[in-house]
Chains A and B, each alone.
Chain A
Amino acid sequence: GAVVSQHPSRVICKSGTSVKIECRSLDFQATTMFWYRQFPKQSLMLMATSNEGSKATYEQGVEKDKFLINHASLTLSTLTVTSAHPEDSSFYICSARTGGAEGANVLTFGAGSRLTVL
């Protein structure tokens, strides 16, 4: 089945630094990827929709300059948390649409990345 690889799984950084998280579709092309944020014991909140070859679409309240998304190829989307602060500490999850008539309705998720900002 479709596999989405997310890296790194855990990252610790100092306040003020930037962190990049990668999301790769391993055996399929993903024109659209989604980035979610999840706080402990809470649900997934959509941050942005990443579209290959065009600008990402951000949800209301998400700072686009803070969370930079790049989807330069059909198999890779990256989320960069710029000038990270402790409040950015969270679990970030990407997902990709597998595409196709039937697959268009299925999202495959990465294993997530836990960011801790000291």
Chain B
Amino acid sequence: AQTVTQSQPEMSVQEAETVTLSCTYDTSESDYYLFWYKQPPSRQMILVIRQEAYKQQNATENRFSVNFQKAAKSFSLKISDSQLGDAAMYFCAYRSGETSGSRLTFGEGTQLTVNP
């Protein structure tokens, strides 16, 4: 079974600074997808960014980018120019590349605090 590990229960960053959230995963599959979701106090899960394992290029969405190291099974999230609205719980998630299902396996989460 696949597992996702986030080793940082809490992180903090100063507004306008950059922060990196860590995520590692374990799988024997070669085809899969990785995601970062944000869960603000409203509890609504919001997709931040996703990465297809077959793509070597790291995904980027505005201030959010990932460092995908397939061999090391590492998938970190970098938030640049942090904003107060970035404060939330961030979950790393794994999805198998099989088309028979879209179930996600989540990491434990990292609570990000943004200090003004």
Contact = CB atoms under 8 A, between A and B. Distances in A.
Interface of A: 32, 34, 38, 41-44, 46, 49, 91, 93, 95, 97, 104-107, 109, 111-112, 114
Given A105-B50, A109-B44, A111-B42, A49 B101 contact: yes
Nearest to B101: A49
Interface of B: 33, 37, 42-47, 50, 52, 91, 95, 99, 101-109, 111
Contacts of B52: 105
B44 A112 contact: yes
| Closest 3 pairs between A and B when the two form their complex, measured CB to CB | A109-B45, A97-B102, A43-B106
14 contacts: A34-B103, A38-B43, A41-B109, A44-B45, A44-B91, A46-B103, A49-B103, A93-B43, A104-B99, A106-B47, A107-B47, A107-B102, A111-B44, A112-B43
A42 B109 contact: yes
A95 to B, nearest CB: 7
Contacts of A95: 45, 104
B113 to A, nearest CB: 14
